[in-house]
Amino acid sequence: MSQAEELRARILELTREYTALVHAPQPFVAGESRISYSGRVFDEAEVVNLVSSSLDFWLTAGPYAEKFEKTLAAFFGAIDFTLVNSGSSANLLMVSALCAEGTSNAAGGPGRLLPGDEIITPAVTFPTTLTPIVQNRLLPVFVDCEVGTYNINPALVEEAIGPRTKALFIPHTVGNPCDMALLTEVARRRNLWLLEDGCDAMGATFEGKLVGTFGAMSSLSFYPAHHMTMGEGGGLVINNPDFKKVVRSLRDWGRDCWCDPGCNNTCGRRFDWRMGELPYGYDHKYIYSNLGYNLKATEMQAAIGLAQFEKLPRFIEARRRNFRLLFEGLKPLQHRLELPRIDPRANPSPFGFPITVRDGVDRRALINHLEGAKIETRLVFGGNILRQPGFLDIERRVHGSMEGSDRIMRDTFFVGVYPGLGDAQIDYIVEQLFAFFGSR
Ligand SMILES: Cc1ncc(COP(=O)(O)O)c(C=O)c1O
């Protein structure tokens, strides 16, 4: 062993020891310990990978990132997986890719989207599922959502299609898959691009097929609240080969060159291109064929992500178990609370456990009761996003009534099911909900 190898081994051993000591799970004390709605769950493996990648000091995407992308592409059985710095960036790239010039000839959809073209999307959504539509000068068409599934009402989607509708952008809210049989059929028959926002639903399936594999592209988030984390991070599952190059170009400044970081002349003709109005032979590294961004993630993020991915199956299992326990435990309160509704063809990978209060129950009082008992709650993101201050004035088309979305905004909240919670915490959540209604 060289001196460097020896030092590295010692550093990593100390890292293990330190993590086991400082980040060991704390015992749960009912009423005293906080029950978060979500959070990072990790052990020595993540911290060792983080330190190891830091010692390499590659910094920008390198071998860990490449391995992460390959691992995730294999998990989804996808053409490609593109790592980015957030789920929001993944959404931005998906919509921008539909608008990129190269998409004119992409197979399997209506071609490139132009300003004024429409994308159908639900009114209950995460803001950055919607903003890329607005930022790309497209028109969002809002369809109402359903209490119970908290997803777009699939029966209303086809009737919302207009002459300029070119795409559906469908989030699987709080991890519950939408009716993908109907939505893929409508997209195919009406020649629309289908994008999925899978940020809340990693590992969920519909008719046995993974969410994220139904449309041309899908997004994931690796923010700590999500199914696995790297701090900040996200990715695109690419199912249509025609989007692989354009997505990477848009992520990497809009460049035409597709060399990996640190590589030169992958195309074999670096000084032999004629593009735009540039002089013949202009360095391909500095040719920009798209209006791009820099949305790359780092090597350290990917290193953490690889360790988290190893734990994903048991993370998903724990989320499903906690969800089931809450569902069973709260059944006797169904006259006061509406519990989640799941399509029998779907197997959710729950992000949280959504609850809608029935008439006569004061959501604010209930949330205050739970928060007072140290049980964290969240609302279903933006509620009816059209009522959010930043979205009041956006150009839009609204299809029909937004009754369901308004009710979700008024009456719904969710509690956690993440793998950091075990039976004791779930029992306590149930107990506190019963306590609020004064019965057990
Ligand atoms: C459905 C959905 N889409 C997109 C995002 C954005 O992901 P990020 O926070 O990584 O930008 C989130 C974040 O929670 C989300 O829930």
Render pLDDT for 265-288 as a digit per residue (tens, 0 to 9).
999 999 999 999 999 999 999 999
221 lines ligand 1 (CB under 6 A): yes
- Alpha-carbon distance of 302 to 316, in angstroms, equals 20
117 lines ligand 1 (CB under 6 A): no
What total of structural domains would you count in the chain? 2
Q: Could you list the residue range(s) of the whole structural domain that residue 354 is in? A: 313-437
Whether residue 170 contacts residue 152, with contact meaning beta carbons closer than 8 Å, is answered with: yes
Q: Which atom of ligand 1 is nearest to the CA of 225?
A: 14
223 lines ligand 1 (CB under 6 A): yes
Residue given tokens 């709080």 in the structure block:
174
**174 and 134, same domain (yes or no):** yes
Query: Within 13 Å, how many C-alpha atoms sit on residue 54's CB side?
Result: 10
Is 436's pLDDT higher than 60?
A: yes
pLDDT in tens, 55-100: 999 999 999 999 999 999 999 999 999 999 999 999 999 999 999 9
**87 and 161, same domain (yes or no):** yes
- Residue 159 Cα, ligand 1 centroid: separation in angstroms? 28
Whether residue 200 contacts residue 175, with contact meaning beta carbons closer than 8 Å, is answered with: yes
127 lines ligand 1 (CB under 6 A): no
Is 439's pLDDT higher than 70?
A: no
- Residue 10 Cα, ligand 1 centroid: separation in angstroms? 38
Q: What does the DSSP 8-state code read for residue 384?
A: B
Alpha-carbon distances of 80 from 180, 257, 318, rounded to whole Å: 21, 17, 28
150 lines ligand 1 (CB under 6 A): no
**140 and 267, same domain (yes or no):** yes
- Sheet strands side by side (includes 217-221): 80-84, 234-238, 217-221, 193-197, 165-171, 118-122, 139-143, 397-398
Report, as an integer, the average pLDDT of 393-411: 98
Q: What was the pLDDT predicted at 440?
A: 47
Q: Which atom of ligand 1 is nearest to the CA of 89?
A: 11
Q: What was the pLDDT predicted at 260?
A: 84
Is this structure's pTM higher than 0.95? Answer: yes
The CATH number of the domain holding residue 228 is 3.40.640.10
- Write down which residue in 254, 277, 300 finishes a domain: 300
Whether residue 101 contacts residue 289, with contact meaning beta carbons closer than 8 Å, is answered with: yes
Q: Is 107 part of a structural domain of the chain?
A: yes
Q: Is 331 part of a structural domain of the chain?
A: yes
pLDDT in tens, 112-150: 999 999 999 999 999 999 999 999 999 999 999 999 999
- Residue 128 Cα, ligand 1 centroid: separation in angstroms? 7
234 lines ligand 1 (CB under 6 A): yes
Q: Are strands 353-357 and 337-338 parallel, antiparallel or unpaired?
A: antiparallel
Catalytic residues: 226
Q: Which atom of ligand 1 is nearest to the CA of 351?
A: 16
**289 and 387, same domain (yes or no):** no
Q: Please give the angle made by the CA atoms of 175, 180 and 185, to the nearest 5 degrees.
A: 165
Burial of 331 (0-12, 13-18, 19+ CB in 10 A): exposed
Q: Which atom of ligand 1 is nearest to the CA of 222?
A: 10
